[in-house]
Amino acid sequence: MGSGNVVETTTTTTTTATTTTSSTFMSDFIGKCGGNVVIDGGFATELERHGADLNDPLWSAKCLVDSPHLVRRVHLDYLDAGANIILTASYQATIQGFEAKGFSKEEAEALLRKSVEIACEAREIYYDRCTKDSWDFMENGRTSRRPILVAASVGSYGAYLADGSEYSGNYGDAITLETLKDFNRRRVQILANSGADLIAFETIPNKLEAKAYAELLEEEGIEIPAWFSFNSKDGINVVSGDPISECVSIADSCKQVVAVGINCTPPRFIHGLITSIRKVTSKPVLIYPNSGETYDGQTKQWVKSSGNVDEDFVSYIVKWREAGASLFGGCCRTTPKTIRGIATALSDKN
């Protein structure tokens, strides 16, 4: 496990394998955070705000190669804004994607590890700064630090395709369960052993990919927890058209999955989706919507959605909490300002 967080695990020895489950990992963490967890905001969005050019098949993962200082800077921006969970820059970091750019397999694997190293380093810098500036507070004579987890991001296969396919989930008939498992196998192994506290499977657009991740976690005996986060463009199904209930059921049945929810989805759909998810699972629910704009995979630009206007969603956070979510952040086109607003809205409620 990553440093700084105590996790209760129960170890079950069977005749064939040793499995480690962590059923209380997320509920313990939510408790340590006072009942609500703040996730970070749009990572690539903030990289771009600092001047990064992400018009590249690697998208934000390009910065692992050419500007790691910006990656660290963005993590610190979100920590300063109040995040309890920061996601690594590995959303579009795949061994296959790095190899296509001329890196060796070893170099590609090192870049995946580097994404976690930078996030862990940012957490240490943040904690050191807090200590120096005496931001820590004393509780029963002991110094107490804001709990912070590093989540290793795994973007979907559609992200690797680098054409916005994570918003259609349409991979064609050639892509099977086995293709998806094999595509992700080494990446997931590396990230699971990188020092991250959990794996964040993000922007999962279809049921097939959820099934592939669940089977992969089981087959590889992955010992750190994971969350599954889906995206939707109608508030009823995930983007491929697969019912959200069926996707969430897959996450619910997977013992390594400690939270399930929705990301990179317009705010106007979030309330209904939380209600639908709640009907299928008692695992903690996470939400980190985008701004409500639409991504154009050809131009790699965000465009205003016609007809539907999503306002700044910070004012909805309390309602989403009442609907049953307990982890809240932002995805594309949200910023540290959004995250600071979420942290304030939740602390006002505590």
Ligand X SMILES: N[C@@H](CCS)C(=O)O
Residue from 93, 119, 120, 332 binding Zn ion (CB under 5 A): 332
Q: Does residue 183 interact with ligand A1LUD by CB under 6 A?
A: no
- DSSP lists the bridge partners of residue 226 as 199, 257
State the helix-helix crossing angle for 177-192 and 105-132, rounded to 10 degrees.
Answer: 50
- Of these partners, Zn ion, ligand A1LUD, ligand X, none, which one is at the site of residue 295 (CB under 5 to 8 Å by kind)? ligand A1LUD
Residue 82 tokens read as 């109040």
Q: Does residue 180 interact with ligand X by CB under 6 A?
A: no
Q: Does residue 42 interact with ligand X by CB under 6 A?
A: yes
Q: Does residue 264 interact with Zn ion by CB under 5 A?
A: yes
**Least distance to ligand A1LUD from the beta carbon of 162, Å?**
4
* Residue 60 near residue 54 (C-beta atoms within 8 A): yes
DSSP reduced 3-state for 78: helix
Q: What are phi and psi of 3, to 5 degrees?
A: -75, 155
Distances in whole angstroms, Cα of residue 279 to Cα of each of 11, 84, 210: 29, 26, 18
Binding mask 270-309 for ligand X (x = CB under 6 A): ----------------------------------------
Residue 292 tokens read as 């409500």
> How many whole angstroms separate alpha carbon 36 and alpha carbon 27?
10
* Pairing outcome for strands 226-230 and 198-204: parallel
Q: Does residue 44 interact with ligand X by CB under 6 A?
A: yes
Q: Is 332 annotated as a binding residue?
A: yes
Site for ligand A1LUD in 188-207 (CB under 6 A): 203
Residues that bind Zn ion in the complex, under the rule CB under 5 A: 264, 331-332
- Extract the annotated binding site for Zn(2+): 264, 331-332
Residues that bind ligand A1LUD in the complex, under the rule CB under 6 A: 59, 92, 159, 162, 164, 166, 203, 264, 295, 297, 300, 332
